[in-house]
Amino acid sequence: MDTRTRLSWLIFGMTNAVLFGMGLVPVLTIKPWSEHAAILIPLVVLASFVLAFPIAWWLVPWMRARYERRRSLMQ
């Protein structure tokens, strides 16, 4: 398993939590949506779980580049 995949799995949990929170807040605060919360909350869970890994995969090179820049400045 390459480094990008390993780091993506590490970031996956945090990304999943952020996406879930971003999806849950509107479902619970918008009155017409909160009436259908029994259907929408499982959809938010599923969507956050599905989208978390591709977003984490996209974030890893950006984070690694930032780390490499900082490390090269210290040497």
Per-residue pLDDT tens digits for 17-47: 999 999 999 999 999 999 999 999 999 999 9
Residue 71 pLDDT class (50, 70, 90 cuts): low
Residue 69 pLDDT class (50, 70, 90 cuts): low
26 touches 33 (CB < 8 A): yes
Supply the pLDDT for residue 21: 97
Contacts for 40 with CB less than 8 Å, ≥ 6 apart: 27, 33
Supply the pLDDT for residue 26: 97
Query: Cα–Cα distance between 62 and 60 in angstroms, integer?
Result: 5
18 touches 71 (CB < 8 A): no
